[in-house]
Chains A and B, each alone.
Chain A
Amino acid sequence: MNEIGNKSPSVMLDHVSKWYGEVIGLNDISLAIEGGVTGILGPNGAGKSTLFKILMGRLKPSQGAVRLFGIDPWKSTTPYRRIGYVSESERMYDWMTSLDFISTLARLHGMSREEAVERSKHVLNFVGLGDVYYKEIGKYSKGMRQRVKIAHALVHNPDLIILDEPLHGCDPIARTSIMNVIRELGLQGKTVLVSSHILEEIERITEQIVILNNGKLLAIGNLHAIRDLLDQHPHRILINCENPRDLAGLFIASEPVYGVRFPDKGQLEIHTNNLSAAHDALPSLIVKSNQKITSIENPDDNLDSLIGYLIGGINHG
């Protein structure tokens, strides 16, 4: 396993671009990732799948260099000995039990029969399927199938794990379970790439994110650092209450609030340049208003808004 260069980063892209005819899939992406969990965020069509296809050797970059552990994945299958990949759309052999399925895939990595069975049982226990691994995969729920996919990606103890939308279509319990698995893998020192178009999913798994939009790399780094940068931009807070106009009077006099709107009946939208300060001021103002508040939302706390601000920031910059 160690015949591959260990000193190279797990993932390295150097000015990688990919065109589909006249449509651009990836636009001059350069990044290096080593260790821990990294969330690849972006709306549909942002280039996440193109990035993963390039990493998995299924697409050849139009320009630039891709290296996995220092090796070009288009030219060699050697890096795949150290990679576990979970595709979003991939099907499995539904007629097999998950134990048989995982152990046969372990054997595709060259494990002996006994090793394959033992290791398969371990990874199936790890993803929480220890009590159902003698059941056919066709009888599993969507969440259980996702966990089988993760188990088959882990069976050969990979150093780099690529998970394409692993939480897609899962129920809340399965989500929590898969998130725990991903976090644990990151803590073990594995390099894990997780794609999603839902910010809060990634937020619960990792702080290290890469944001893609229209094939461009918008941001890379710590999520909180990116959010702090965005605090300089206007934010909105939406409050559902009995009498929004009375509440608005209190808020407009408050320092961090520079504007208010009434988007609907019983709704107050506050505009602020300092989200943290506005949230600090909220409880005392609500108590002072003596009103019943049914909900407080941050409409800007999603990926679309984040990308919108980032694009705005780039344009302004």
Chain B
Amino acid sequence: MLEGFDISDSDIDIAGKQTRMEVAYGSGDGDEELTAVVAKREAELGAIFDQSYKQWEGVLGPRWMRNYSIYRHHVYGIFTSKGHRYYHPFVRLTILVIFLASLAPIPLLFFSSLLPGQDGDFLSKMWGINRYNLWGQVLGYFPRNLCMWPLLTALVVGGMISDDRKNGTSALYFSRPINRFDYTIMKYLSVFAILGFVIVFSYFAYYTSAIVFRGESWAYLVDTLPIFLSGIIAGVILVMTYTSLGLALSSISQSRFFAAIGFLSIIYGTKIIALLIEMQFDTTIMYILSPYDCLAHFGQFLLGLDLNYEHPLGFSVISLIFMNVISVGILVSRVSSMEVTRE
């Protein structure tokens, strides 16, 4: 240090009323009459936190625990703010409304069970268990596949991977012992679980409540169970197809809006094009481009209904397989390149 050069704080009252600025520039310089309002804060010493690092001696869990954690924190966000996928309150509310709407036949079934005579029978035919109603609970176009399931899927898949692409938060996973297969499969399962809960669970609840409210016997159960199980299979294929398409769109973009709108465009756009071609040329073949119609066609077959489509069922099945394979292929390839430069 240079001689005569004192930079100590000994003259500064850091715990008292005098601020450092007053010490530096002085006071009582003849301007006492003048006043000014300043943000004056007494100087104080900073707190020193306990900076001792403790080693952790525990054993880290196996792969399934890590994977379950990914799955859990993607589903959790719907209920709390602790999830890795953020759901806006409006999105949560919309999902709740869709879920409640999917359960709408249940109170009507309950109502029909309370009414005696012909009124009750009529309502029971309207809302009760039969092939058409079971098909309609999952694959009916209005309102479910026009308003509810596509919107639900768009809201759930919107930011599922695109947010990670945009924010680079996938690095949080890939700098841990989590490989890309686990990351992809757990994202897929979490979307599948949310869609499955709303679509398949509401179907299950509908069937179960019909039996309970009307006090049906084992014979009824034996009669209807195969149709119900066929409907479950149709529902699972629908959830799987919508998940594959939605996640593929989410993985190719950094915008949740793109994924959501892209999904709705595919569902509605292909349907409208096929409908226009059918009206113009009187052929249903173009419905093989529409994911919904392929699912509806296959669902009609599974539940033993008359087929509404003229083209062979095999075309719709092959189209469905093709859509799923292509979507999963895009998803896998895009996730493989996330955060990685593979020249």
Give min CB distance, A291 to chain B, whole Å: 11
Partner of A1, one of B52, B60, B62, B70: B60
A265 within 8 A of B: no
Q: Using CB atoms, name the residue of chain B closest to A99.
A: B82
Q: Which one of A89, A109, A130, A293 has the highest number of Cβ atoms from chain B below 10 Å of its Cβ?
A: A109
With A104-B73, A126-B52 known as contacts, the answer to whether A85 contacts B169 (CB < 8 A) is: no
Complex CA–CA separation, A93 to B166 (angstroms) = 12
B15 within 8 A of A: no
Whether B52 lies near A20 (C-beta < 8 A) is no
Partner of A126, one of B53, B82, B179: B53
The 8 A CB mask of A175-209 against B (1 = contact, 0 = none) is: 00000110011001000000000000000000000
With A111-B61, A184-B52, A283-B3 known as contacts, the answer to whether A58 contacts B174 (CB < 8 A) is: yes
How many A-B contacts at CB < 8 Å in the complex?
A: 124
Whether A184 lies near B53 (C-beta < 8 A) is yes
A298 within 8 A of B: no
With A20-B343, A58-B340, A91-B169 known as contacts, the answer to whether A1 contacts B50 (CB < 8 A) is: no
Near A by CB (< 8 A), chain B positions 99-132 give: none
Whether A90 lies near B168 (C-beta < 8 A) is yes
A235 within 8 A of B: no
Whether B60 lies near A100 (C-beta < 8 A) is no
* Segment with Cβ contacts to B, from A33-41, A74-82, A224-232, A246-254: A74-82
Partner of A157, one of B50, B56, B174: B56
B69 within 8 A of A: yes
Complex CA–CA separation, A57 to B84 (angstroms) = 23
Q: Which A residues are in CB contact (< 8 Å) with B171?
A: 85, 87, 90
> Which A residues contact B (CB, under 8 angstroms)?
1, 20-21, 53, 56-60, 77-78, 80-81, 83, 85, 87, 89-93, 95-96, 100, 104-105, 107-112, 115, 119, 122-123, 125-126, 128, 130, 152, 154, 156-157, 173, 180-181, 184-185, 188, 283, 286-287, 293
> Which B residues contact A (CB, under 8 angstroms)?
2-3, 46, 49-56, 58-63, 65-66, 69-70, 73, 81-82, 84, 86, 167-169, 171-179, 339-343
| Interface pairs (29), CB distance under 8 Å | A1-B59, A21-B343, A53-B341, A57-B174, A60-B342, A80-B175, A80-B177, A81-B60, A81-B177, A87-B171, A90-B172, A93-B169, A95-B86, A100-B81, A100-B82, A104-B69, A105-B176, A107-B66, A107-B69, A108-B66, A110-B65, A110-B69, A119-B58, A126-B50, A126-B54, A128-B51, A157-B56, A184-B52, A283-B2
Closest A-B pairs by Cβ, 9 of them:
A110-B61, A157-B56, A91-B167, A107-B69, A85-B175, A110-B65, A128-B49, A110-B60, A80-B177
